[in-house]
Amino acid sequence: MLKTFDFSAPALRQLALADVQRALAEDVGSGDLTASLIDPTRQTHARVLAREAAVLCGQAWVQAAVLQCDPAADITWHVHDGQRCQPHQVVLEIAGNAQALLTAERTALNFLQLLSAVATKTATYVAAVQGTRAQIVDTRKTLPGLRLAQKYAVRMGGGTNHRVGLYDAILIKENHIAAAGGIPQVMAQAMLLQAQADFIEIEVETLQQLEQALDCGAKMVLLDNMDLPTLQAAVRINAQRAILEISGGVTLQDLPALAQTGVDRISIGGLTKDVRATDYSMRFSDLPARSA
């Protein structure tokens, strides 16, 4: 019932290449004026260091950025996607053309910093619900154009992916219910499309709506902005008939208590929307290290 994305190595390379090509076009434009100051034949060695503890994520994107600029570059990883790194640890080394590495630097680090931030934050939230049945789930609140990259990062942090977009699953929210005329009406229409959807989920705001949704055959229900006693009552009413998901205003401090209600999933937009980039830097052996 729940979505499984293709994050195999070939699929990741294809995804990362498309993301990186857009990013390089944005950054390089007609050419890297500053890198052109360097002898085009010069070779160099670069190290990327973690400046803080993190769950690393973004290998395919770094590889794509470097190899697009220097197809002959040699890249050695010391920390891999989903693994933890510590402050001052060298996570990868690159040997290649100096001009090319200077051009690739910012794009490579941007992806590494963003995706590691998502993976690290997800891992923190996953740890907070350890020992319960609850899974930490992402949402569509992603950076435009980078949805699959961020969903991959959630995976690397131990989280679970929700739907990709509007096309692969049905998530009925309050405005859909209002526009359709009620829960029975919208659920009836949804059932007609169930063969086209990976899953059908309906959002409810009250226990009465939950009972109504269950009576209409709902197998996945999103409990929106309910307080703890109401959530506990919802779990009792549901009696494991449907997958229950909590959403809305979830904080890290709230997570243990929310998970202990017995819900199956807790979706958190902040995993991909409110992230602080992980700090990495690239250092060259024989050149100034960082671009502005």
Active site residues: 106, 141, 173, 203, 224
The answer to whether 24 and 68 are in contact (CB under 8 A) is yes
The Cα–Cα gap between 280 and 275 comes to 15
**DSSP states along the chain:** --------HHHHHHHHHHHHHHHHHHHHTT--TTGGGS-TT-EEEEEEEESS-EE---HHHHHHHHHHH-TT-EEEESS-TT-EE-TT-EEEEEEEEHHHHHHHHHHHHHHHHHHHHHHHHHHHHHHHTTTSSPEEE--S---TT-HHHHHHHHHHTT-B---SSSSS-EEE-HHHHHHHTSHHHHHHHHHHTGGG-S-EEEEESSHHHHHHHHHTT-SEEEEES--HHHHHHHHHHHTTSSEEEEESS--TTTHHHHHTTT-SEEE-THHHHS-----EEEEESSS-----
Token pair of 98 as six digits: 């100096």
How far are the Cα atoms of 25, 103, 152, 281, 288 from residue 106, in angstroms, in the given order? 12, 7, 21, 10, 14
The answer to whether 148 and 171 are in contact (CB under 8 A) is no
